[in-house]
Structure 1
Amino acid sequence: MTNLKVHAPVPADLDGDLASLRGDCARMAPHWAAPEKITSRPVSPSLIHGVTVPAKSARLLDTMLDYGN
């Protein structure tokens, strides 16, 4: 059996405060780029097919005021 050891590149600061967390986030931010704004268009109901909803779920949604009548 292989003994895999995981070493963190920087010791974890488990007792850190908000300032420490914000500093960590600021250092990580350059590693991820924000995606381009994606605009989605409505889909015609005639293109939606093959969706099945279990009867229990349909009854549950039917009883909820937001989804019912």
Structure 2
Amino acid sequence: MTNLKVHAPAPADLEGGLASLRGDCARMAPHWAVPEHSHAQPVPPSHIHGVTVPVRSARLLDAMSDYGD
């Protein structure tokens, strides 16, 4: 039988503060690859099409408070 338990190397501190969050980010930073250079150019709105958002997602976002007010 296979043991399917997975253990994270450093469990997340769900009750921690900003220092805990910064520590989590610092541990993850080496795992993120950064491209050498980016060739991203602004896209005109006329070229953006075909994006659909499920109604439930749109309602959820609409009901969310902006900036925690």
TM superposition score category, shorter chain reference: 0.3 to 0.5
Higher radius of gyration, 1 or 2: 1
User: Which structure is higher in helix share?
Assistant: 2
What is the TM-score of this pair, normalised by structure 1? 0.43
